Structure 1
């Protein structure tokens, strides 16, 4: 595995951060607030990959940290931004990046909660996590996604015009908004992201989005999911679609949680890859 402070290969002193710090800025382990006692999460090796922890300029006093996984070599690849759940960047999100990199993508997972200075994945109490998550406003997060796509376009390993975005739970909502406000996004896949505030904005969706939802999700009512699907259809957004799994609940892709549904997670993953390929993120 190659561990670099940033993909361009600059020296650690250029970023005012030591190499040891640069490769340990994200949580080692799974989010303790949601980790199942009997979890057997997928662990993707990093053989054949370059793993980097980049610092992305975003106009803030401290740049945006991001976990990056990509195939080794100098070839250009399509890029997928991976948006975390409320727990930030922990081993599940990092493994998602490695899975995508094994398939030939560059995967970039920005740490949208870094401004708090708190490692959310290490907190066991949801009541402590949620106020910190709430500090990341839609405008701030959308700006960080724009900074990320601008950074991706500057990288020698990124294929021009082929940027997608996928996100889980909290990150699913980010996917929907990014498809509305970020012209660099070619396609998106939202895993059980809340839509109640976005239904009225369905006509703003510019990049096609595939929404993957569970019918047994206790946090995202099915009437809202169906209303979003109807709003997309009414707005003529034929490239976007919503698929609902009858037996799945919230977090059905999260293989470290009790909510994990292996069959639906596998099917959703295949649908995600097909969606990206169909819309030029390949």
Structure 2
């Protein structure tokens, strides 16, 4: 009975509309990207136990496109993540953000981060990696995605997943991890962290971090840098000295326009240098 209930829940789950409740009020700096010239909106991704919702944006032309997986923050695939997908689509990518917490709950409706954290803590890494594999498969078979041109980027919670998926799927061309946690105690559901996979990483990942990020100590960033020296990926980490956590989140007070714009330019160059 539990499995049936779970399947039904996944099958009927929908994406958030607008911004997550926990991030209100929204800053006047929030960027809004239109859908002109795009195919954009909610889709369903087949996964082993049903379907999960995702947001997809791509140019409205007949050609095929490089795929970019856009990995959510702790607040889920809300308006900010959807807008980032549209920004990628305007640049000629098929960008897709699967809702990776859907089995555990709808975080967009919760009013505080303290309510969200227990739900996110129940999300197994193995489930996330499997869902991302399924998302790539869907993008290739159903949305004109190029199987040999897959990139990934993620923010906060999604920054950590960016490192892990790059290690999980060596066919990924490149990744960009925005202020994702690097070091933590292993758990049954999250048995590894980026620092644990750094030495064997073969996919080039660009890490973008804030020097004043109180949730990611700079000594853990340096630890990751040291581990990366022993692999062949040519991964790099950039630290913006005065940036706090979530400096790319234009809808929040943490936004730092100069650093965010520089990071976005670096992402664009990084992807191009690595065949995306």
> How does the TM-score come out when normalised to structure 2?
0.89
Corresponding position of 2:33: 44
| 8 Å CA contact 1:149, 1:184 repeated in 2 | no
Question: SS in structure 1 opposite 2:55?
Answer: strand
CA distance 1:142–1:74, shift in 2 (3 Å): same
Deviation digits for residues 14-72 of structure 1 (CA, Å, limit 9, x no counterpart): xx9xxxx99x9222221232334543300001111001322111101x21211100000
Retained in 1: the 8 A contact 2:164–2:197? no
* Equivalent in the alignment of 1:101: 89
Say whether 1:219 aligns with 2:215. Answer: yes
Other-structure match for 1:157:
144
Paired position in structure 2 for 1:113: 101
Matched, 1:139 2:126: yes
The separation in 2 between residues aligned to 1:104 and 1:37, in whole angstroms, is: 28
Distance in 2, matches of 1:160 and 1:142, equals 17
Q: Structure 2 unaligned runs (5+)?
A: 1-7, 184-192
> Structure 1 residue 230: deviation in Å?
1.2
Q: Distance in 2 between matches of 1:161 and 1:91?
A: 29
> Contact 2:202–2:231 (CA<8 Å) still a contact in 1?
no
What is the deviation of 1:220?
0.4
- 1:36, 1:258 within 8 Å by CA — same for their partners in 2? no
Q: 1:135 to 1:104 in 2, by over 3 A?
A: same
Question: Displacement of 1:156 after TM fit?
Answer: 5.3
State how many pairs are aligned: 258
Name the residue aligned to 1:3. none
Q: Paired residue for 1:193?
A: 180
Describe the superposition over 1:188-225 as per-residue Cα deviations: whole angstroms up to 9, x where unpaired: 00000011132132122121100000000000000001
Q: Which runs of 5+ in 1 are unaligned?
A: 1-15
Partner of 2:252: 257
Matching residue of 1:280: 275
Partner of 1:177: 164
Tell me whether 1:71 sits opposite 2:59 in the alignment: yes
Match of 1:231 in 2: 227
Q: Do the aligned residues in 2 keep the contact of 1:35 with 1:256 (CA within 8 Å)?
A: no
Moved over 6 A (4+): none
